[in-house]
Structure 1
Amino acid sequence: MNKSENLLFAGSSLASQVHAAAVNGDKGALQRLIAGNSALKDKEDQFGRTPLMYCVLADRLDCADALLKAGADVNKTDHSQRTALHLAAQKALRTISTGRI
């Protein structure tokens, strides 16, 4: 288990393997998990964040693509009423405002 995986399972908000696979960019594991249980593609964590949202936050575009192809709900909102698109826009604005393009 790598350092980020330890953080995922040591009491953090990422409570499931599907979220861990999404944030760590493990496309194979993500696809296997979803193939075994299609409901996992939209599984929410304690903040209402879905695997797609974690892909966006962690720049895991290949995993986001896999989730979208599996039918992940792009309109799902977290507890703050943000979708994956909202998170992507916020992230882009922060990147532009800090000059890290």
Structure 2
Amino acid sequence: MNKSENLPFAGSSLASQVHAAAVNGDKGALQRLIVGNSALKDKEDQFGRTPLMYCVLADRLDCADALLKAGADVNKTDHSQRTALHLAAQKALRRVSTGRI
């Protein structure tokens, strides 16, 4: 049996699976993927975004914590030279400016 058949999002690449798990808050799938292939914790998508960046954008703090504990690189930048911290700060500023905090 193919190992990827047991994973959610079967049929897509492991990179897209790890990004989907991060944005959807599927901590169990995220952990299974990065344990199986540790390079996935910092895998970039077509925008240069890592799973950690998607956790920040989707407010998936438990998944972000799992990635950080697994050693995800907090200094990785996307194609626009933004880190996960930059994205979090941008998101907070938008919330403040719209009164959603």
TM-score of the two chains, using structure 2 as the length reference: 0.86
Which SS does the other structure have where 1:40 is aligned? helix
Alpha-carbon distance in structure 2 between the residues aligned to 1:61 and 1:2:
31
Paired positions, count? 101
Whether contact under 8 Å (1:13, 1:46) holds in the other structure is no
Alpha-carbon distance in structure 2 between the residues aligned to 1:7 and 1:29:
7
Cα distance per residue 1:52-99 (max 9 Å; x no partner): 000000000000000000000000000000000000000000000000
Q: Which runs of 5+ in 2 are unaligned?
A: none
For residues 63-78 of structure 1, the aligned pairs below 5 Å read 63-78=63-78
Cα distance change, pair 71–10 in 1 and its aligned pair in 2 (3 A): closer
Whether contact under 8 Å (2:8, 2:29) holds in the other structure is no
Return the offset for 1:50: 0.1
Cα distance change, pair 16–100 in 1 and its aligned pair in 2 (3 A): same
Whether contact under 8 Å (2:15, 2:40) holds in the other structure is no
Return the offset for 1:15: 6.0
- Bigger Cα Rg: 2
Alpha-carbon distance in structure 1 between the residues aligned to 2:4 and 2:94:
23
Return the offset for 1:46: 0.2
Whether contact under 8 Å (2:52, 2:72) holds in the other structure is yes
Question: Which runs of at least 4 in structure 1 moved beyond 3 Å after TM superposition?
Answer: 1-15
Alpha-carbon distance in structure 2 between the residues aligned to 1:97 and 1:58:
19
Q: Which runs of 5+ in 1 are unaligned?
A: none
Whether contact under 8 Å (1:14, 1:20) holds in the other structure is no
TM-score of the two chains, using structure 1 as the length reference: 0.86
